Amino acid sequence: MLKINFRTNIIALILTSLFLVYISPSANAEPSTILGTTGDEPNGIIIDSSGNIYTANGASNNVSKITPQGVSTTLGTTGANPFGITIDSSGNIYTSNNFGATVTKITVFDQAAANAEAARVAAANAEAARVAAANAEAARKAKEQKELTEILALIPSIGELTLSLGETTQSLYSTKCVKGKTTKYVKSGAKCPKGYVKKK
């Protein structure tokens, strides 16, 4: 079986030797190159948009993946004697299996997509934490401002109370002496200065 890629080069399945051969039409290239190994009796072949090659291996009932760097791995198992193979837009692999008349789907894990999603979730969580912290700080400042406003509102009352207490204390522990519009206080029991009259 042959597969022609978009450059019109040919990739051949060599059934008995379990490897893929790349055949280039270029006069300057080697006539063929072994790309990598497969499972037993590779019957079908597909190439994805990244240049990875997949084979349906009829005797070993699995699918092989060969990267552009030539790294070969077993992607997954199939039904009995897979022959046809295809790939969907999400990178999932499908094989048609001769024995048993079944179709197998192999879900391909996209590590890059998973990493991107994990990064997105982490960024969203970090942003949520930042917003929560900002809201908590704003609430704390608002509470402090409210308490300060309440304290400042009490200051005139405190001043008046202090003055009243001062006058009360002065009147209790001293004698009030008056001369016209002038008032003086002397110690309790002491005489008023000359010209001043003692007031109760």
What pLDDT was estimated at residue 97? 92
Nearest to 4 by CA among 22, 16, 17: 22
Does residue 1 have a pLDDT over 60? no
Cβ atoms of 198 and 175 within 8 Å: the answer is yes
Structure pTM?
Answer: 0.48
Task: Tokens 């509470």: give the residue.
Answer: 143
Q: How far apart are CA 96 and CA 23, in angstroms?
A: 27
3-state SS track over the chain = CEEECCCCCEEEEECCCCEEEEECCCCCCCCCEEEEECCCCEEEEEECCCCCEEEEECCCCEEEEECCCCCEEEEEECCEEEEEEEECCCCCEEEEEEECCEEEEECCCCHHHHHHHHHHHHHHHHHHHHHHHHHHHHHHHHHHHHHHHHHHHHHHHHHHHHHHHHHHHHHHHEEEEEECCEEEEEECCCCCCCCCEEEC
Task: Give the chain's domains with CATH numbers.
Answer: 2-108 (2.120.10.30)
Q: How far apart are CA 198 and CA 8, in angstroms?
A: 126
Q: How far apart are CA 137 and CA 43, in angstroms?
A: 66
At 114-170, the pLDDT tens digits run: 788 788 889 999 999 999 999 999 998 888 888 888 877 776 766 666 656 666 666
Cβ atoms of 33 and 68 within 8 Å: the answer is no
Instruction: Select, from the ranges 7-11, 101-105, 158-162, 167-171, the one with the highest average predicted confidence (pLDDT).
Output: 101-105
At 59-70, the pLDDT tens digits run: 999 999 988 888
Average pLDDT for residues 173-179, to the nearest whole number? 80
What pLDDT was estimated at residue 22? 55
Q: How far apart are CA 44 and CA 177, in angstroms?
A: 122
Cβ atoms of 101 and 87 within 8 Å: the answer is no
What pLDDT was estimated at residue 8? 42
What pLDDT was estimated at residue 10? 44
